[in-house]
Structure 1
Amino acid sequence: MKGILGVLAALLLGTPAMAAEIKNVRIWLAPDHTRLVFDLSGPVKHKVFSLDNPDRLVVDMEDSRLLANLDRLGLQDSPVSNMRESRQADGTQRFVLDLNSTVKPRSFTLAPNDQYGHRLVLDLLKTGADKPAPVPVQQPAAVAAATGTLRDVVVAIDAGHGGEDPGALGPGGLREKDVVIAIAKEVYRRLDATPGYKPVMVRKSDYYVSLRGRTKLAREHNADLFVSIHADAFKDSRANGASVWVISDRGATGEVGRWLAQKENSVDAIGGVVSLDDKDEVLAGVLLDMSMTFSMEGSRQVADRVHKNIGKFARMHKPFVEQAGFVVLKSPGIPSILVETGFISNPDEARKLKSSKYQSQMAVAITEGVKDYFWHRPPAMTHLAHRKNGGGQLASLSDRTHKVSRGDTLSVIAVRNGVSLSALRAANGLSNDKIRIGQVLKIPSS
């Protein structure tokens, strides 16, 4: 008996653990990095190291086996010229990446979520020598005012999701990320063709940008407005209607708002964001009450116009602008709106959203709403403001005035004209922040 037990024990101890299967490998190209995603059947231990002469990157995954085909991975335009693989004697699956430019590797594993199973993510970050030349950005209001120059109105256009995050899925494999990038590009084209506007695409093609990364890009370009475009899903396929959203500091307006905000705010788990390094910077910005007052008031006014335009041809989810705690709308000092172009989970709306004609209608509604808002409230020292004022000789900085209209506050006027609140009070002999509609305020030069 002891002999039999010994043999059985030896057999059990000698049986190798089940190797994790590498079922698929995906690649995404972004302006500042390339992402490789390995879809796995289970968790793996891994290590990444570099080799020189020639430059190579090695990825080792313990107790794993490659089942995917690498032939159609699509490495063109990436820093990887070739990718080779081999299985080592100890069961380690090895990948060797031949590099054609210098990169900084970053790797991490992700647990399963609603979209994917276990994953190993390898980001190849561009280094300083390989980064593209910085894109010229518009001067902020204060700089433009100090120099007496005019600038364009900057609108950041954010197509939701992208890369390994497809967003919501509709019938027939329709993906939210494809619908919204088409609408966003049309909004960009229309604004770019309008004198006085400088549109900026948050993502230009199929790659992922984190939620904080989207608002950070808007801030880096000194955007006057942030427009995020989506086409989400709901657990009930009967849900329908387009909607326009602004940030809420008191909670969402209804069950759908809570559901959508929760889904959108959790997409970084799909995109693979493992830290929020800029959270302190964002928190500090939120504490600037003057900027937030301005951005929330502006957000509401833009949203009202876009909502009205979409309602001319589409069913609206609610007859009013809705509110929810979308992270992507929390950008201090920048009016921000989120447009849900429809429920991709609803078969009828999915069919419309797939149509280029409907996509164009949606883009026109958004664009015209944006243009109408800025015509009525053009930022100071912009070509648009100059044109509205008659397009004549630019007034000297000491001659600038502002006529108070409904919804204005002293802090809002200060932010829009690039001056401090104290300077605005002093220039007008004000002992407090009370102003009245129709009052003409003198705008100081700094």
Structure 2
Amino acid sequence: MSAGKPYLTLLSRFRRDESGNIAVIFAIALLPILAFIGSAIDYSLAVRAKAKLSASLDAAMLAATGYTAMRGSASDAKTAATNMFNGQMAAHNLSANAINITITDSVSARSVVGSANVVVKTIFMYMFGYPTMTVATSSSASASFPTYMDFYVLVDNSPSQGLGATTADMTKLQNATSDKCAFACHDVYTSSTKKTLQTNSYYQIAKNKGVTMRIDVVRSATQSLTDTATASQVVSNQYRMAVYSLGSDCGSLGLTTVASLSSSMSSVKSSVGSLDLMTIPYSGYNNDQCTDFDGAMSAMSGVIPTQGDGSSTSPQKWLFFVSDGVADYNYPTTCSKTTVSGGRCQEPLNTATCTALKARGIKIAVLYTTYLAITNNSWYTTYIAPWRNDIGTVMKSCASPGYYYEVDSSGSIGAALTALFQQAIASAHLTK
């Protein structure tokens, strides 16, 4: 036997012996198993830390775009967001390694973008050279600023608004007047010397008989509009309103202030309470030429300033026009219909001023209170009826697209005026 044979025999036996293999294999695999379990534990810690980090940053974004923050500056909002983030992180027993919040304000909206990261200490991975893990997150938010708006309301209070508000009201007035007139403005309304209401005026008859006139409904609807404005405000003084009429007396026609531009809707509402039909010195005064739309609309153009961007210092500008759409004035050279009595012109609204206002960026909302057909009235049949159906088309062309309503009953006037207002404020963020 050679000298090396015993060693070869031992080596061969060792190779064939399988006892104790499991322990050896487990010992060899233990290290990666521990590394895997430790990594999973450390990863779960990182996931939980990121969830808390994300929640804290989301809260910060909301703090910068909340109701209170939107009323302040971008700098104030950033401070509020940072304080919110730090407070949330402290509640989670975390301390951010870095946080960045950027706030960008435009005229109509605020955009907030944030990012943050936090360092998480590992429990097992440090043994493999990874003592910490950094987790990061980002978030963003945006919100619209409240849009400030000025509403200039022009109410047609010409004699035609003495028409009964409904067919039933017209019939009631016709039955109560000697010449079957449906207008409460006809006959003597005021004394030419004392300017006092005459007891035999059709206006007074309408009042005594409980006849509701168009002007009564329009007055009530305009007052209700102030309540709608108050209830719709997101911030105080967001909306302002002014109300105008065509004039308090036919003897001195011209744009007349019923309520000056004000954010106090209660004051505007109170002032509108005095809105009524314009007076006429005596029956047939000035050949009944008391509805000067051209003059009133031109004057409104001078009253309404340059269109604003909707900020608190530059409100958007709106014209609300409420009328039955029939002009009755002396337009001897510009009348679109045949003139009578030395230049008396009865015609639909001349939309030239509407076009000029819209060219300046002013939005116009038109409420057309349908010029109701007046039975048993020869003047209406001769001079109005032939083109009465065109009035609505002309009024609609005055309005900005989508801001036109026509109503023919008293119950609809208030609802339509409110709907126009709600539509205007709902789409305010789209208007520049």
Q: What TM-score, normalized to structure 2?
A: 0.28
Specify the structure having the higher radius of gyration (Cα): 2
Q: What TM-score, normalized to structure 1?
A: 0.27
Q: Which has more helix, going by share of residues?
A: 2
